[in-house]
Chains A and B, each alone.
Chain A
Amino acid sequence: MKQELYRKLVAYLVENQDKFYRLAFSYLKNQEDALDVVQSAICKALEHYGELKSEAALKTWFYRIVLNESIILYNKRKREILTQDSEWMEQSYEEKGFDIHDDLYARIDRMEETAQKIIKLRFFEELTLEEIAQVLEMNVNTVKAKLYRGLKALKIAEGEEEETWTV
């Protein structure tokens, strides 16, 4: 049983490695860091595969690990920059908030952490709301509410019609 699940997990990880890399890169913006995240996420998953309840939970369980690893490294890098070079920090991290001239992708990047995760998983990774709820260990309704709020924030700035983005 466990053996079988382990094999399925490995197959899933190998098959979908590009997706995990992109997700990690979307946070880290740096090849080496993104590779590190994918590698350590795989290491964690294979070490703790015993916690995996069923094959059905495999996808959302691993997305959670990748997101966690990405955010951990992202926060670490941010702290390093803060302590090393305050001037550089000002340039790259002070510019929070929307800039009309940025494209949507760049603006998603600057969204609040949870809203950003939801939007990336929903629109880039095409997870269902239920799957996202599992990844984030949240209620589906909460996910829905946060998604709409996030989209609204993006659209208000852009003045776009809500209907064009099918949730």
Chain B
Amino acid sequence: MDRMTEAKREYHDIPIPQELSERVALEVERAEKKRRFSLLKRRIASAAAMVIVLFVTGLNTSEVFAREMNDIPVIGTLARIFTIRSYETETEDLKISVDIPSVEMIAEDLQGLEKEINEDIYAFCEQYAKEAEGRAKEYRQAFLDTGGTREEWEEHEITIKVWYEVKAQTDRYLSLTVKGAESWVSAYSEERYYNLDMETGKWITLHDILGDDYAGIVRRSILTQIKQRQAEEGTNYWPDRWKGIDDSTKFYMNRNQEPVVVLEKYEIAPGAEGQLEFEIRKEDW
């Protein structure tokens, strides 16, 4: 017989102890227990971290952003938004839920601008939540003072919410809006639009994009658009009452890197129309 075959036989003649299968089964069982425990631990940890994770991956969960996602291959490499602070409190009178975003940019020479932006966003969120809470307490006091009972008050669902949405992100611009709202009154709702130029790490204004005549450009574009809309939808606009725009006018950058101007309720049309958005197309610049 071939010597290698002989050696192989010798090797295969190594007796297998009965204990082997027990030891193997024991180890498999032990690993299974460990694994189940760690899965459980992970689940608990992830539940706790969920609010944070929600917006670390938030760019993907935003509906607007999900649409952008398919078209932009290098998304997220330039800027990332995540929730820096998120809390929910619930007292017997009041529910508060706050999500404060933070922008992280990957760019050179930002010279602390990123920090400035985030501090600004943070201050806005905190201030809104605080003021809204004050208003809620005043409201409650007024309610009780004018003969309302505690039971009746508790039937009110008083909620304060501060959150944010990514309007659009392109390889050049990032636009997000930070919003504050109170469930019992809309008069104090606030929203701010933040537009960042990721190449420079700076805020952008309509002036930056459209140049010195930005107000004129926007005005002409909007007036043309409302004529069209009026013809198409029959909405009654108020072009004569409209004062035009200035550098505090809200806007965001869309996926074509064109500004979308947001006009307040009542600003150019009856309140029922709500906020109105107008794209300022490149051909109008």
Task: Check if A43 sits within 8 Å of B31, measured CB to CB.
Answer: yes
Contact of A39 among B8, B12, B27 (CB under 8 A): B27
Contact of B7 among A31, A43, A104, A164 (CB under 8 A): A104
A12 to chain B, nearest CB (A): 11
Task: Check if B19 sits within 8 Å of A35, measured CB to CB.
Answer: yes
Contact of B28 among A14, A21, A31 (CB under 8 A): A14
Task: Check if B17 sits within 8 Å of A35, measured CB to CB.
Answer: yes
Total chain B interface residues with beta-carbon distance under 8 A: 26
Contact of A25 among B2, B14, B31 (CB under 8 A): B14
B92 at the interface (CB under 8 A from A): no
Query: Which residues of A from 97 to 156 have beta carbons under 8 Å from B?
Result: 103-105, 108, 120, 123-124
Which residues on A sit within 8 Å (CB–CB) of B8?
Answer: 123-124
- In the complex, which residue of chain B has the Cβ closest to the Cβ of A6? B35
SS class of chain B's interface: helix, strand, loop or mixed?
A: helix
Task: Check if A103 sits within 8 Å of B6, measured CB to CB.
Answer: yes
- CA gap between A105 and B68 in the complex, in Å: 66
A143 to chain B, nearest CB (A): 17
* Extra pairs beyond A17-B20, A26-B11, A123-B4 (18, CB < 8 Å): A18-B16, A21-B14, A25-B14, A31-B17, A35-B17, A39-B27, A42-B28, A46-B28, A46-B31, A104-B4, A104-B6, A120-B11, A123-B7, A123-B8, A124-B7, A124-B12, A160-B3, A165-B2
4 nearest CB pairs, A to B? A46-B31, A105-B7, A104-B7, A105-B10
